[in-house]
A and B are shown apart, each in its own frame.
Chain A
Amino acid sequence: MAKSSTTFRYDYAQSPPVDQVGIAERAARFTTRSIKTSTKREGLNMVLNMIDLTTLEGADTPRKVQQLCYKAGHLHDAIPGLPHTAAVCVYPPFVKVARKALGNRSPIKIASVATGFPSGHLTLEGKREETKRAVGDGADEVDMVISRGRFLSGDYDYVFDEIAAIKEACGKARLKVILETGELATLDNVRRASDIAIHAGADFIKTSTGKISSAATIPVTLVMLLAIRDYHFKSGNMVGMKPAGGISKSKLALHYLVMVKETLGPEWLSNEWFRFGASSLANDVLMQIAKIESGGAYQSPCYFSQD
């Protein structure tokens, strides 16, 4: 629920400090899990079903978005029984195109970045306007960016109010809040930003825009998952998680699933509560599945659709 700053204000001092060494050690342990055979196959299917298939380029065109929408539902028709992706993720001007391509009854959601993505430097009025238009055009989900400049200068109230305002503008659409952790400098800041976003009404918290070199990592995601867990213990409410950027290999994606299961529990292992923001991950997972299906022949990217 959206909360205006006059009725409720989260006490930022309550955000616990993060044990950096402990997080690094715990994070490293997830990557030592070995997931094989049928478990791996199930895990890969799950990963596909959690992907927000993304195109966020200056060079995007309506045709490219149409093709992305087709791919979201037809990942690799040579292998029957593959799931569709959770959503497609596009810039606001392409929401209409995507809605037309997918139709009104598609199980594939449409996510639109908004609020001056990726920098977030837009007036609050402009951000609300952009969000409303995206939702009006048919977006099911809105991926907003927080004002990192304000956050880093300690203006937490502004960040909180802004998220609450965008949540209000979203209406029924679910709100994902991008923290852009690569710009937050410390894990303490990641934790604080997560807490602010969660209390301000985020349905999902998301690591990165994918537009700067330091994107989603396992330690950063773990810190955010722990924020979600603490909130869940306190309030009983669930908040979703979306690591984005830099996850392009199936093995790494499986490690993320292990981390989610062991930190939050199996309730979070569905695309309602966990997503991958990725463009190239889908093809790597498809190649892994094709390898398993072919009895172990290593695959070539040449035989998979390039989006």
Chain B
Amino acid sequence: MNRLEILKTYKLYINGKFPRSESGRYYTPEGADGKALGNICQSSRKDLRESVRAARSALGTWAPRAAFNRSQILYRIGEMLEGRRAQFETELKRQGSSAASASKEVENAIDLAVYYAGWCDKYQQVFSAVNPVSTSHFNFSVYEPVGVVAAIAPEQSALAGLLGTILPIIAGGNTCITLASNSKPLSAITLAEVLATSDLPGGVVNILTGDRKELLPVFATHMDINALVASDLSTTRVAELKQASTHNLKRIVIHQSDLSKQEDPYVILKTQEIKTTWHPIETSIAGGGKY
């Protein structure tokens, strides 16, 4: 007897939950074989607003969390990805990848998780500095997360590119709202299922699917988003974004390199800001004094 086909409903990932778009809208992208990939939520500006609210409140627990614990959670993401390799490969193939490149991309994605897991508790010690100053101060600069970050995932590399964009952001203690690839959204939503089972607190990563043209201006003007990260935008689009985001001096980061393969700690620093502390000391040894 033929079984009825069970199709998966692809939904959004906001605040650790899987809601549909509040707008009720959806779109139906086509896969490589010309068949529909599924009914994908077309997020509205209100979905975006809810995501920012979730990300802002999650920042309160994610940023001050012990760096080592963040590292453990990122590694756990790698473990969960490993267990779902077959599913990710199938979806990548439906989205147009060859068998070989799908397998390679999933491997890349897992490696990225392990790589950035390692950097969570190291980037601050490696890149922070004790600064020489000529007064009697102990002066040091440390990296701190900028806050809530919008991540526009690359259109083509649906899994590794997405992870390469968001992992450096959350490794550095930020929370993020990511807009998945419009034409290849399946991997992003399945990734949400991975994140939901990786001890990652709800709201640290929120995943939206939908139309870039509609949502980019909302990202840019939202006063509660501190930075926006993207990689494959046209120069006119970037100029528009920069102009629209001046009201809260949002940082716009445009990556030039291919984040799906890039294992690079400097990417973490793109969504960090530097706090410099001047700590007075009574007598300096260099000045010949005594303690």
| A residues lining the B interface (CB < 8 Å) | 294, 296-303
Q: Shortest CB–CB separation between residue B225 and chain A, in angstroms? A: 8
Provide the bound-state CA to CA distance between A124 and B248, in Å: 55
* Residues 209 to 254 of chain B near chain A (Cβ within 8 Å): 218, 221-224, 247-248
A298 / chain B contacts, CB cutoff of 8 Å: 45, 48-49, 52, 218, 221-224
Instruction: Provide 11 A-B residue pairs closer than 8 Å at the C-beta atoms, listed in order of the A residue.
Output: A296-B221, A297-B221, A298-B45, A298-B52, A299-B223, A300-B222, A300-B224, A300-B248, A301-B224, A302-B223, A303-B248
Cβ-closest chain A residue relative to B245: A297
A301 / chain B contacts, CB cutoff of 8 Å: 224
* Residues 11 to 60 of chain B near chain A (Cβ within 8 Å): 45, 48-49, 52
Provide the bound-state CA to CA distance between A197 and B145, in Å: 54
Provide the bound-state CA to CA distance between A299 and B224, in Å: 6
* Residues 35 to 91 of chain B near chain A (Cβ within 8 Å): 45, 48-49, 52
Cβ-closest chain B residue relative to A290: B223
A296 / chain B contacts, CB cutoff of 8 Å: 221
B218 / chain A contacts, CB cutoff of 8 Å: 298
Q: Shortest CB–CB separation between residue A286 and chain B, in angstroms? A: 13
Provide the bound-state CA to CA distance between A302 and B147, in Å: 12
Q: Shortest CB–CB separation between residue B21 and chain A, in angstroms? A: 17
A299 / chain B contacts, CB cutoff of 8 Å: 223-224
Q: Shortest CB–CB separation between residue A248 and chain B, in angstroms? A: 13
Q: How many B residues touch A, CB cutoff 8 Å?
A: 11
Provide the bound-state CA to CA distance between A301 and B223, in Å: 9
A294 / chain B contacts, CB cutoff of 8 Å: 221, 247
Q: Mark B189-223, 1 if CB is under 8 A from A, else 0.
A: 00000000000000000000000000000100111
Q: Shortest CB–CB separation between residue A138 and chain B, in angstroms? A: 39
Cβ-closest chain B residue relative to A295: B221
B247 / chain A contacts, CB cutoff of 8 Å: 294, 297
Provide the bound-state CA to CA distance between A303 and B45, in Å: 21
Provide the bound-state CA to CA distance between A83 and B194, in Å: 49
Provide the bound-state CA to CA distance between A303 and B221, in Å: 14
A302 / chain B contacts, CB cutoff of 8 Å: 223-224
B48 / chain A contacts, CB cutoff of 8 Å: 298
Provide the bound-state CA to CA distance between A39 and B257, in Å: 49
List 11 additional contacts besides A297-B247, A298-B221, A300-B248; criterion CB under 8 Å: A296-B221, A298-B45, A298-B49, A298-B218, A298-B222, A299-B223, A301-B224, A302-B223, A302-B224, A303-B223, A303-B248
B52 / chain A contacts, CB cutoff of 8 Å: 298
B221 / chain A contacts, CB cutoff of 8 Å: 294, 296-298
A303 / chain B contacts, CB cutoff of 8 Å: 223, 248
Q: Shortest CB–CB separation between residue A306 and chain B, in angstroms? A: 14
Nearest 3 Cβ contacts at the A-B interface: A300-B224, A297-B221, A300-B223
Cβ-closest chain A residue relative to B223: A300
B45 / chain A contacts, CB cutoff of 8 Å: 298
Cβ-closest chain B residue relative to A296: B221
B49 / chain A contacts, CB cutoff of 8 Å: 298
- Most chain-B Cβ atoms within 10 A of its Cβ — which of A296, A298, A299, A302? A298
Provide the bound-state CA to CA distance between A303 and B248, in Å: 9
Q: Shortest CB–CB separation between residue B214 and chain A, in angstroms? A: 13
Q: Shortest CB–CB separation between residue B177 and chain A, in angstroms? A: 12
Provide the bound-state CA to CA distance between A300 and B52, in Å: 10
Provide the bound-state CA to CA distance between A300 and B221, in Å: 11
B248 / chain A contacts, CB cutoff of 8 Å: 300, 303
Q: Shortest CB–CB separation between residue B36 and chain A, in angstroms? A: 33
A297 / chain B contacts, CB cutoff of 8 Å: 221-223, 247
* Residues 251 to 288 of chain B near chain A (Cβ within 8 Å): none
- Most chain-A Cβ atoms within 10 A of its Cβ — which of B48, B49, B52, B248? B248
Provide the bound-state CA to CA distance between A296 and B223, in Å: 11
Q: Shortest CB–CB separation between residue B43 and chain A, in angstroms? A: 14
Provide the bound-state CA to CA distance between A294 and B223, in Å: 11
